[in-house]
Every structure is written in structure tokens, then in C-alpha cells.
Amino acid sequence: MIPGNRMLMVILLCQVLLGGTNHASLIPETGRKKVAELQGQAGSGRRSAQSHELLRGFETTLLQMFGLRRRPQPSKSAVIPSYMLDLYRLQSGEEEESLQEISLQYPERSTSRANTVRSFHHEEHLETVPGPSEAPRIRFVFNLSSVPENEVISSAELRLYREQVEEPSAAWERGFHRINIYEVMKPLSERAQAITRLLDTRLVHHNVTRWETFDVSPAVIRWTKDKQPNHGLVIEVTHLHHAQTHQGKHVRISRSLPQGRGDWAQLRPLLVTFGHDGRGHALTRRARRSPKHQRSRKNKKNCRRHALYVDFSDVGWNDWIVAPPGYQAFYCHGDCPFPLADHLNSTNHAIVQ
């Protein structure tokens, strides 16, 4: 959790308390009594203005946390990559049993220095780039302009989906192929050939259907940190057996004609970046929470934190916040002892208030 969450928690709580009867079901009985007292101290016009101002302030803080300049307005046809949803569930400790068979080979050493994961699809335009070999070389361009300037990319990976090819067992040795990933240092022009450098390569066999992950960190770091021109990446598929009839066709780099857009959105190449914006903590995989055994308090009337769950759909942000569905804001209720006892920390007590 980044430090901004603390301020976000307070603003969100105030917005719910002053928002009127639409959110009354979110607040426990003791909280509703407190809301009635607060609402009795202000006129309806003032309440409405305060609620609108707090809502706008909360949204501004939320956008700053995500490194966004304005509220996103995603298309209704937008599809969230399954990899991002699986990565979220893995990080939050949810459904670990069902995720054991999912290949989430993201770089542990890089994510240890990251607190933000972003995914990008390539521009639909594909360009064939001539190369020294007879294998097709396709250039992809990814628009990374949405990455904030204060976010430092520590790692990036390109994910490619490849499908199994059924062949007789006697043709096993003909099933090997090599996938090469290049960075375009200088694009193709009328006067000169394109200049590329090899980023990653892998020798694979087409007997399985799976995602392949390639390290493209040097290129993405050059584009974002060093502000070097982004001319895209080149993908090359070379078969060791030159008589191969399905040369490169099982590596999905373009949508087939009979395939729907929804299916293609989940299978198209995906660029994933791991970065840190200088705030908060890096990504750490959360362990599954065990039931807490709370000790009984001698005085239950003292000031303490109470549970308060806020659903993002109640504030109208579930159209661009996919997960989690809500936020555990909590609220403070009870008598505050004064003066504070020696074992109480005044700073922490002020934060709870």
C-alpha cells in the first residue's frame, strides 16, 4: 500500500458519511447515528456541496495514485488481458489453488523493485521488415506514452502465444523452431536497411500450446528512462527444418479471419512493464490470511477502528476500476481517552482519528 492510501481512506470515508441515504447501508448502526448528528449540523445545500467536493477530491487522489491525469473512459468493448487478472489474484493471495497451473513467470528480481504493472497491446498495423534470413520478420510498435515520467521501469517482458501443431511422431525433429526478438535501432528507409539488435531468443518445440515470455527490458528502459526513439520490436520465427509447411503460422502475431475480436484480444502479443513511481512499497506476494483471534477489550467504548467496506460501484467508478470491487476504508468510533496513556502513540492515534 502506498502512502497516498492513508489520505485516500479519510477522503473516501468522509464522502460516504456526507453522501446521503444512498450509502446508509454501508455504515453500521453506530455509524448511522453519527451520520445523523453530522447531517443535522449542516443544511442540505451545504451537504451537497461538501459531498461533491469530497468526491472530486477523492477521485483526484485516486488518479494521482495510479499516475493518471484524468479519469479513464474505457470503451465498452475493452478486454482485460487474462494475464493481468491472474497476476492481480496471485498478488492479492486469492484463489492460489486455481492459479497453480497458470504460467506466471514474471521476473521476481524485477518485481521486487516495482509497485506498478502495466500491459500494452501493439498497434494494429504490422510491417514486414527484410532481414538476413528467409524467415518472416514482423515489426510491432507499442505506444508507451501513458507511462508517467516519474515511473521508473525496472523490467519489461513480451508475451507471445503459440499453438500446438499436430504432426506424426516421425517428424519430431522437424518441430523445433527459434523465436528471436529484436529492438529496432534504426527503421527501414529508402536508402538503408533497418538496424536491429537481438534482445532475447528461445528454441522451442511446437508440440505444446503455451505462452512464451521474452525479456525486452533493455529496449523499454531506453525508451522510457533514456528517452530514446521508440521504433518498436521485431519478431522473427525461424524453423530449423527449412521444408516446414507451417512456417511461423502457429505463433500468434496477427488475428486470423474467422477469429472473433474477443478471442484475439486474449491471444494477441502483450507487452508488460514493471515499474516504481517512487512511492510506497514494491510488489510482494501476499500470503493467504488466517482467521484473527482478537483479544477482548476491557473497555469496548474506547476509540477504535471499525470495519467499513465501500463498494466502488456505489461511487460510480466500477466502469474503470476492474479489481478489487471495493475498498476497506474503516472508520473511527468511540471515546478518546485524554490524556493519552504512556503506551499509546499520539501520532498513530491522530491517524486513526
Cα–Cα dist 206/251, whole Å:
9
If you search the block for the grid coordinates 456505489, which residue do you land on?
314
For 186-192, the CB contacts below 8 A with 24+ separation are 186/231, 187/231, 188/127, 188/129, 188/130
Amino acid present at 245: T
DSSP class of 172: G
Cα–Cα dist 273/145, whole Å:
13
CA distances from 341 to 195, 306, 337, 345 (A): 70, 21, 8, 9
Cα of 37 vs its chain's centroid, Å: 40
Cα–Cα dist 41/37, whole Å:
7
**What pLDDT is attached to residue 304?**
78
**At a CB cut-off of 8 Å and minimum separation 6, what does 346 contact?**
340
**What pLDDT is attached to residue 124?**
75
**What pLDDT is attached to residue 141?**
92
DSSP class of 40: H
**At a CB cut-off of 8 Å and minimum separation 6, what does 64 contact?**
4
Tens of pLDDT along the chain (353 residues) come to 333 333 332 222 223 333 333 333 333 344 334 434 444 444 555 555 655 665 666 677 777 776 677 777 877 777 888 888 888 887 777 655 555 545 555 556 566 778 888 999 888 776 777 666 667 788 899 999 988 888 899 999 999 988 777 666 656 677 788 899 999 999 888 888 889 999 999 998 878 888 999 999 999 999 999 899 999 999 998 887 655 555 555 565 655 555 555 676 778 899 999 998 877 666 665 555 555 555 555 556 777 777 767 677 877 777 888 888 877 766 677 777 666 666 655 555 454 54
**What pLDDT is attached to residue 12?**
29
**What pLDDT is attached to residue 97?**
54
Cα–Cα dist 309/329, whole Å:
6
Cα–Cα dist 332/353, whole Å:
6
